[in-house]
Amino acid sequence: MKILIMFLLITFAATGRVFAQIPAEWQAAAQVVIADLERDTPLAARPWTGAELTQGWHMARAWRKHNNGNVEIILAEYLTFVALCRQGCAGNTIEGKGYIAVAEQVKALKAQNGEAYGLATSAHAWLAALPDPTGAAAKNAAMWNKDLDMAAADFATSNLYALYWLLALARPTPTEQANTFARFAIFVQGKAWIGTRCLDISKVALVIGAPPRVETCK
């Protein structure tokens, strides 16, 4: 599994280096995946303008530059920031806060929980304890806890995971917290229960020229 993770990370990073512009496969994947995740939410009725794809790209690179010292982003980072920019990211903000301030919160949260692996374990324990009527929270916690490397083996993904937890904790109810964490964590994990549906996006942008597709977990 570690070899597969490293292969995917290297592939995505290499793609980011080769293309001065946003890879077309990434843009298509973002629209398909995020549109599916926005189903049954207020954002579902909001048309795509294309601006969120560009804003998300620049935000992901700025986030990566601040945290990692380079702009060789991975697909999970791009999907994350396109999703955030669908909600609004004017002035390089994450839900109204400057991204550098949020990055400092991420750093602090990781330190409080024993860095990458400790944070993933703690986040999953928190998720499993949430009273989610769909059962998705407990299912996700159990599924993701089987392989902590997915969230914790890479510095970039562990930063994203901490960001997702912060976003979820800011929601007012346990149900909203569980939904928020799942809808973002799928970008890192590749699979997630979203309500009663188990979605698989692990292959959404791996084949050049193939139309992106959200699959059902097998």
Give the separation between CA 143 and CA 146, rounded to whole angstroms. Answer: 6
pLDDT at 19 over 80: no
Give the separation between CA 188 and CA 202, rounded to whole angstroms. Answer: 9
Res 205: pLDDT: 82
The CA-based angle 99-103-106, given to 5 degrees, is 140
pLDDT at 12 over 50: no
With beta carbons less than 8 A apart as the criterion, state whether 91 and 84 touch.
Answer: no
Report domain extents, the chain.
2-216
Give the separation between CA 210 and CA 52, rounded to whole angstroms. Answer: 22
Give the separation between CA 7 and CA 4, rounded to whole angstroms. Answer: 5
174-191 confidence digits (pLDDT tens): 999 999 999 999 999 999
With beta carbons less than 8 A apart as the criterion, state whether 186 and 199 touch.
Answer: yes
**Closest Cα to residue 81, out of 99, 106, 108?**
99
78-131 confidence digits (pLDDT tens): 999 999 999 999 999 999 999 999 999 999 999 999 999 999 999 999 999 999
Query: pLDDT-based confidence at 20, cuts 50/70/90?
Result: low
**Closest Cα to residue 185, out of 145, 130, 212?**
145
Burial of 64 (0-12, 13-18, 19+ CB in 10 A): buried
Q: What is the pTM of this model?
A: 0.89
Res 17: pLDDT: 42
Mean per-residue pLDDT for 11-31? 70
**Closest Cα to residue 31, out of 64, 9, 59, 54?**
54
Lookup result for tokens 């324990």: 125
